[in-house]
């Protein structure tokens, strides 16, 4: 069963009189429970593809299906609700809130889904234990190493038990040893929790953690790879 499907998706940006075709008829599918890597050079359309897959944007033409639902015509408020429930994001820059401790950062997505306080705290503690940071739950991001911050970000991505984890260059700000630990943890999530994981990377070595690699070029699938 496909959890994500893009059908003939185009994304065209107008910058003054210039027309930029970021995606040009992109068609792709990702099955439930897959670990997929999306690769491509700068300007290949990776970021725009991520925006479509992550319900952060809608196409100029074509259809985007998430768990069977066509999201390409939805309003931003509806997209935000779907994002919150179905997709967990892990970013290169961690995107943690500096004034909140680890426990509060992990709890945050659950607030927007209306989860009661006691339940939020219980779940956040369980997730920090899962990423082996139970002794750092009351530390703020500035008091954590890069690898620890990324593990907090992984815990936060799991807060609403999403079906899809979207990891955009998740090791970009980490040294190679710490990066490998983070990737091993994502692989573990895939195997043990049966999460669908979409890894966006320019690093061929990281892409080998995935079951399948998709290459983009000029806003569409590179059929020659």
b/e sequence 123-160, b meaning 16+ C-beta within 10 Å? bbbebbebbebeebbebbbeebebbbbbbbbbbbbbbb
What pLDDT, on the 0 to 100 scale, is given for residue 99?
97
Residue ranges per structural domain of the chain = 2-221
Q: What's residue 224's pLDDT? A: 67
What pairing do the DSSP bridges indicate for beta strands 212-217 and 164-168?
unpaired
216 and 207 in contact (C-beta within 8 Å)?
A: no
Alpha-carbon span 28 to 177, nearest angstrom:
32
CA 31 to CA 43: how far, in whole Å?
26
pLDDT along the chain (225 residues), means of 10: 94 90 95 95 89 91 93 87 91 93 96 94 95 95 95 94 93 89 90 92 91 94 79
Identify whether the C-beta of residue 209 lies closer than 8 Å to the C-beta of residue 186. yes
Phi and psi torsions of 202, nearest 5°: -105, 0
Q: Does domain 2-221 have CATH number 3.90.1150.10?
A: no
């Amino acid at each position: 069963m496909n959890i994500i499907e893009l059908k003939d998706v185009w994304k065209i940006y107008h910058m003054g009189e210039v027309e930029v075709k970021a995606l040009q008829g992109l068609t792709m599918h990702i099955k439930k429970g897959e670990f997929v890597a999306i690769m491509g050079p700068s300007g290949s359309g990776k970021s725009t593809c991520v925006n479509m897959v992550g319900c952060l944007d809608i196409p100029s033409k074509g259809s985007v299906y998430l768990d069977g639902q066509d999201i390409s015509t939805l309003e931003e408020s509806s997209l935000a609700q779907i994002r919150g429930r179905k997709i967990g994001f892990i970013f290169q820059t961690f995107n943690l809130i500096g004034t909140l401790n680890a426990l509060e950062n992990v709890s945050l997505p659950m607030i927007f889904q209306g989860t009661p306080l006691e339940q939020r705290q219980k779940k956040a503690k369980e997730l920090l234990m899962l990423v082996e940071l139970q002794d750092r739950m009351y530390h703020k991001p500035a008091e954590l190493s890069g690898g620890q911050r990324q593990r907090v970000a992984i815990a936060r991505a799991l807060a609403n038990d999403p079906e899809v984890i979207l990891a955009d260059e998740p090791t970009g700000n980490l040294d190679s040893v710490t990066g490998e630990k983070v990737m091993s943890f994502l692989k573990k999530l895939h195997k043990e929790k049966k999460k669908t994981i979409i890894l966006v990377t320019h690093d061929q070595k990281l892409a080998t953690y995935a079951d399948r690699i998709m290459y983009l070029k000029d806003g569409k699938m590179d059929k020659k790879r």
